Amino acid sequence: MIKAAIVGSTGYAGEELTRILLQHPEVEISHVTSHSFTDQRYDGVYHNFNKRFDNICEEENIEKLANNSDVIFIALPHGIASSKITKEILNKAKIIDIGADFRLKDKNIYEEWYKTGHESPELLEESVYGLCEWKRNEIKNARLIANPGCFTTCSILSLSPLVKENLIDLNSIIIDAKSGVTGAGRTLDIGTHFTECNETTKAYKIASHRHTPEIEQELGTLAGQKIQISFTPHLIPMQRGILATCYANLKDSSVTYAEIKEVYRKYYENEYFIRLTEKGVFPETKWVRNSNYCDIGFAIDRRTNRIIIVGAIDNLIKGAAGQAIQNMNIIFGIDEKTGLENIPISL
């Protein structure tokens, strides 16, 4: 059995990690930590775990966790993991960081966008960006996984085949994305109070969202050149889900829907967690709710010579906990579907 520790287990992503890992046939949860609920029973924080998981939430001690665990999931805000993870820790346990500290390879870009210092820049080169469908071979031998962000997972998966095959003008990419409220985390904030976000939709962090350089980095790597995108996120009044509508100009105005579909099949036909929709059918967040799937559909606008790609994921599963567990499965040589095969809940 793989012994797994969860740091930040009482946040939304941490709760999903706990729930999924408890049902994973190859995993035993060794420790759960929580700064806000130290010494409290887990099923007293989340009552849905009644009769399923009554372990005590501990104060985090990374050395103790590394000594008693095979893998440590870190579900904390940015700026914390980089001060805790060292090469000595990595010699003892695999680290899967759900936060942002090891996603960006350039320390200066990280500090510019996240407005904080990076405490372990020497580990940035070693860290592997854990987008499973595109980084599987690198993930297999990794000690430190940077789990991708939710907006980025949906956007990159939706656009990557087109970028890789040089089918679109890289300077024309626009991503318009919507997120459920859980994407903001469990910390109290006036902007996510019920009366502030119910019955309204708003764009936020326009031209300044921190997932922008992450998307540019990964798509740029596929393209073999630096790129810049326009990315605008929106908060919508639902609990969970990401819907990313991506726009780009086609390089060849004569390319057909069937030819584009073959490109997506080339990369995703054998990917269990990527589902391509039929022509004229476009993903909805309810089709992927509570699952590790990413649904992708597209249309060609002949009038403007643009392709429009729609992607949908559950931000807490494929955009966080589910992808983290998929990464764990790959690292430990387990079928990566293990523990993640539940059918989405549409209602």
Q: Which residues partner with 244 through β-bridges?
A: 177, 311
- Whole-angstrom CA distances from 209 to 161, 184, 212, 230, 232 are 24, 13, 6, 10, 8
Q: Which residues partner with 296 through β-bridges?
A: 276, 311
Residues counted in the chain? 347
Distance in angstroms (rounded) separating the CA atoms of residues 215 and 218: 5
Distance in angstroms (rounded) separating the CA atoms of residues 27 and 1: 5
Question: DSSP per residue over 180-198, as a string?
Answer: -GGGG-SS--GGGSHHHHT
Return the closest-CA partner of residue 131 out of 246, 247, 214.
214
- Whole-angstrom CA distances from 3 to 55, 213, 321 are 14, 34, 16
Distance in angstroms (rounded) separating the CA atoms of residues 242 and 315: 6
Contact call for residues 272 and 284 (beta carbons, < 8 A): no
> At a CB cut-off of 8 Å and minimum separation 6, what does 94 contact?
70, 71, 72, 142, 143, 144, 145, 328, 331
DSSP conformation class of 167: -
Distance in angstroms (rounded) separating the CA atoms of residues 4 and 17: 10
Would you say the C-alpha torsion 221, 267, 263, 213 has a positive or negative sign? negative
Task: Using the structure block, give the residue that is written with the tokens 């780009």.
Answer: 248
Q: Is 150 a catalytic residue?
A: yes
Among 150, 154, 197, 294, the one annotated catalytic: 150
Which residues are catalytic, by number?
Answer: 150
